[in-house]
């Protein structure tokens, strides 16, 4: 995940070159963030998933004209246990960034931070730098959206590999075996043994649509020679270690340190092992003895799949090591309850079904939603008994069909959106909590629709986050069901296969509800129609005139759409229940 100061230290030892006639390997996550950087350099702070997908294909098409061949694009599907603190730290920084952004914009988010400029005029080769002022966190589903775009393109689908380890380790192994150049943003690759391979950082590529792409090329062996270090014997690793220990030391001091005795042999050995012996997870095996394939999974989902059903090459499964699900940081109101909470039962069902597919000792998953520090404990989500899970499957199937029938012929709302809303409201009612979706729909139905303005209310943004969280939870369920081998369905409840078929049309990221789309849903006429549809599933009381007047008075006293001053109480995690039993209210 990078060695602080290493790239800056070695920058004078990079050599100018071109990518012409080179075989390249691409670090997938770094590519995704490079595309985001390009979008933000064009003034689009939050590019749509459609724009991100089109841009990565266009960028690769231009690269393909420059190089001899693109050999592979690697995405990591497993994080070594030793790097969990780094993941926790990054997750905490993202959440803190979101909180700071919200604190700076208490009356709503400026639309330019959400929508940007017209997306058809994107310059992939701009030399402008993105604004760093009041920057929102990256799009919640950036990396899997890029993977989806590549998977849907016949030119690049076969190049994509989701690997049971870190992408940089597989890039390094590929170069050591075949040579070539790796395109990355990760300075760690300078310390790996690359054989004859070389490193190019995305930020050092000077590209255009027509001219030869120029770049800075880093050759570890050449750098060792110029520094007076032997290219063998792990000296590049030793140099990286010295930078790790003293990131601000001069080159001469670092070289001198490399010739001195190692101050802490144990620490040095631990540092080197991450580059010499890559921690890989073995692929899980189903109850029928078939190996689970990661091909079509999102990285976060595959990471959990490997944790729950695999052992590392160095150690067997340890049931005492918790299985962690790092849910994406949503663009939401951090002072309200997490948008991940009401859709927990959907993910709970997914985890339970996975345990049917791949038996194992762990029966809980620790979800990390809003990480605030490295010591964050996460939220424990327990798997549910099979009988109860089957009842939930049956209820969910009935509700899905009922939703389709209700929405058929109704303009302005998809049945997936209606389903997510209904399940959200039902779960909040089960937990005796207020549903944000119901609250904002009711308010919108009772007041004249506001004209679109430059400020987007946080209530609207938070409602969008709820819908996206629900759809992504369904995506987890869909992808877990996709792991079932064809001949293993007979060993599972029949409802599981039926749900697998029913979830196939689930919207992809390009069709996830955007803030703009949520604004349309909250227009008075459509909000009223949506509430009428939802009454077919859940109890929605019609408020009396006095209550409406009281609401108006409260709104007058609390002018604007500012953030609430009090955080909602932490909701409880269920170990079962009837979130999907929406039809019961009609009986």
Segment 24-42 mean pLDDT? 96
Please report the pLDDT score of residue 578 as a whole number.
Answer: 59
Q: Domains of the chain (ranges plus CATH)?
A: 6-220 (3.40.50.1010), 299-558+574-586 (no CATH)
Percent of the chain with pLDDT over 70: 88
Please report the pLDDT score of residue 80 as a whole number.
Answer: 85
Q: Quote the pTM value.
A: 0.90
Asked if 383 contacts 491 with a C-beta cutoff of 8 angstroms, the reply is no
Of the listed ranges 48-52, 68-72, 235-239, the one predicted with least confidence: 235-239
Higher pLDDT, 490 or 578: 490
DSSP assignment of 353-368: HHHHHS--S--EEEEE
Please report the pLDDT score of residue 375 as a whole number.
Answer: 83
Asked if 467 contacts 421 with a C-beta cutoff of 8 angstroms, the reply is yes
Q: What digits encode the pLDDT tens for the residues 391-433?
A: 999 999 999 999 998 888 777 789 999 999 999 999 999 999 9
Q: What digits encode the pLDDT tens for the residues 272-309?
A: 888 888 888 899 999 989 999 888 899 999 999 999 98
Segment 12-29 mean pLDDT? 95
- Please, what is the Cα angle at 81 between 77 and 84, to 5 degrees? 85
Higher pLDDT, 504 or 564: 504
Strands of 434-522, DSSP E = 455-456
Segment 537-551 mean pLDDT? 62
Distances 196 to 11, 181, 230, 235 between C-alpha atoms, Å: 19, 9, 15, 16
Neighbours of 532 (CB within 10 A): 13
Alpha carbons 167 and 28: distance in angstroms, whole number:
7
Please report the pLDDT score of residue 231 as a whole number.
Answer: 58
Q: Which of 192-201, 270-279, 555-564 has the highest mean pLDDT?
A: 192-201
Percent of the chain with pLDDT over 90: 66
Please report the pLDDT score of residue 210 as a whole number.
Answer: 84
Segment 200-223 mean pLDDT? 92
Alpha carbons 332 and 378: distance in angstroms, whole number:
19
Which of the four pLDDT bands, split at 50, 70 and 90, describes residue 71? very high
Q: Look at residue 214 and tell me whether its pLDDT is greater than 90.
A: yes
Q: Look at residue 53 and tell me whether its pLDDT is greater than 50.
A: yes
Please report the pLDDT score of residue 580 as a whole number.
Answer: 73
Asked if 509 contacts 145 with a C-beta cutoff of 8 angstroms, the reply is yes
Which of the four pLDDT bands, split at 50, 70 and 90, describes residue 232? low
Which of the four pLDDT bands, split at 50, 70 and 90, describes residue 111? confident
Please report the pLDDT score of residue 570 as a whole number.
Answer: 34
Please report the pLDDT score of residue 312 as a whole number.
Answer: 45
Segment 239-247 mean pLDDT? 92
Segment 219-233 mean pLDDT? 81
Neighbours of 180 (CB within 10 A): 23
187: burial class by Cβ within 10 Å (0-12, 13-18, 19+)? buried
Helix/strand/coil (H/E/C) assignment for every residue in 336-352: CCCCCCCCHHHHHHHHH
Q: Look at residue 356 and tell me whether its pLDDT is greater than 70.
A: yes
Which of the four pLDDT bands, split at 50, 70 and 90, describes residue 437? very high
Residue-averaged pLDDT of the chain:
87
Instruction: Tell me which long-range contacts 84-90 makes (C-beta under 8 A, separation of at least 24).
Output: 84/324, 85/374, 86/1, 87/326, 88/368, 88/371, 88/373, 88/374, 88/376, 89/374, 90/1
Please report the pLDDT score of residue 116 as a whole number.
Answer: 63
Q: Look at residue 363 and tell me whether its pLDDT is greater than 50.
A: yes
Q: Look at residue 577 and tell me whether its pLDDT is greater than 60.
A: no
Q: Give the N- to C-terminal CA distance of the chain in Å, as an integer.
A: 55
Alpha carbons 325 and 302: distance in angstroms, whole number:
10
Please report the pLDDT score of residue 118 as a whole number.
Answer: 60
Segment 311-327 mean pLDDT? 64
Write the CB contacts of 558 (distance below 8 Å, at least 6 apart in sequence).
none
Q: Positive or negative, the Cα torsion across 157, 203, 300, 396?
A: negative
Q: What digits encode the pLDDT tens for the residues 517-538?
A: 999 999 988 999 999 999 988 8
Rg of the Cα atoms in the chain: 26
Higher pLDDT, 541 or 197: 197
């Amino acid at each position: 995940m990078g060695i602080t100061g290493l790239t800056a230290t070695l920058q004078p030892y990079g050599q100018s070159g071109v990518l012409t006639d080179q075989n390249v390997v691409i670090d997938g996550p770094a590519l995704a963030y490079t595309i985001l950087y390009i979008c933000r350099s064009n003034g689009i702070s939050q590019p749509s998933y459609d724009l991100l997908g089109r841009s990565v294909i266009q960028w690769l098409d231009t690269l393909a004209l420059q190089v001899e061949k693109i050999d592979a694009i690697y995405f990591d599907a497993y994080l070594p246990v030793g790097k969990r603190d780094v993941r926790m730290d990054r997750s905490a920084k993202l959440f803190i960034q979101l909180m700071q952004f919200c604190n700076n914009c208490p009356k709503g988010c400026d639309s330019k931070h959400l929508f940007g400029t017209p997306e058809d005029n994107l310059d992939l080769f701009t030399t402008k730098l993105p604004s760093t002022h009041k920057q929102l966190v990256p799009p919640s589903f950036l990396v899997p959206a890029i993977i989806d775009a590549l998977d849907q393109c016949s030119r690049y689908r076969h190049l994509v590999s989701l690997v049971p380890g870190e992408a940089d380790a597989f890039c390094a192994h590929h170069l050591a075996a075949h040579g070539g150049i790796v395109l990355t943003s990760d300075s760690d690759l300078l310390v790996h043994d690359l054989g004859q391979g070389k490193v190019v950082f995305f930020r050092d590529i000077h590209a255009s649509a027509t001219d030869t792409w120029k770049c800075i090329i880093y050759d570890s062996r050449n750098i060792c020679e110029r520094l007076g270090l032997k290219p063998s014997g792990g000296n590049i690793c030793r140099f990286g270690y010295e930078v790790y220990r003293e990131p601000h030391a001069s080159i001469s001091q670092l070289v001198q340190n490399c010739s001195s005795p190692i101050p802490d042999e144990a620490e040095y050995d631990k540092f080197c092992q991450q580059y010499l012996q890559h921690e890989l997870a073995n692929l899980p095996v189903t109850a029928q003895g078939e190996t689970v394939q990661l091909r079509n999974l999102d990285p976060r989902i595959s990471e959990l799949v490997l944790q729950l059903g695999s052992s590392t090459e160095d150690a067997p499964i340890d049931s005492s090591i918790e299985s962690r699900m790092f849910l994406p940081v949503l663009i939401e109101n951090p002072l309200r309850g997490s948008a991940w909470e009401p859709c927990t039962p959907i993910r709970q069902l997914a985890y339970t079904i996975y345990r049917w597919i791949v038996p194992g000792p762990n029966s809980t998953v620790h979800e990390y939603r809003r990480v605030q520090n490295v010591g964050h404990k996460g939220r424990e989500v327990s798997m549910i008994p099979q009988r109860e899970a089957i009842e939930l499957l049956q209820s969910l199937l009935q509700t899905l069909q009922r939703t389709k029938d209700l929405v058929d012929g109704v303009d302005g709302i998809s049945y997936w959106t209606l389903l997510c809303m209904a399940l959200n409201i039902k779960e909040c009612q089960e937990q005796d909590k207020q549903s944000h979706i119901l609250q904002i729909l009711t308010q919108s139905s009772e007041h004249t629709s506001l004209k679109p303005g430059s400020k987007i209310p946080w209530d609207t943004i938070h409602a969008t986050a709820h819908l996206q969280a629900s759809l992504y939870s369904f995506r987890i369920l869909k992808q877990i069901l996709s792991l079932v081998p064809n001949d293993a369905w007979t060993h599972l409840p029949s409802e599981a296969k039926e749900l697998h078929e029913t979830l196939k049309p689930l919207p992809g990221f390009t069709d996830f509800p955007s803030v703009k789309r949520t604004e349309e849903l909250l227009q008075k006429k459509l909000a009223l129609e949506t509430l009428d549809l939802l009454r077919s599933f859940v109890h929605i009381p019609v408020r009396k005139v006095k209550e409406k007047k009281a609401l108006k008075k409260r709104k007058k006293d609390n002018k604007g759409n500012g953030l609430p001053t009090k955080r909602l109480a932490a909701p409880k995690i269920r170990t079962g229940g009837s979130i999907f039993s929406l039809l019961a209210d009609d009986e």
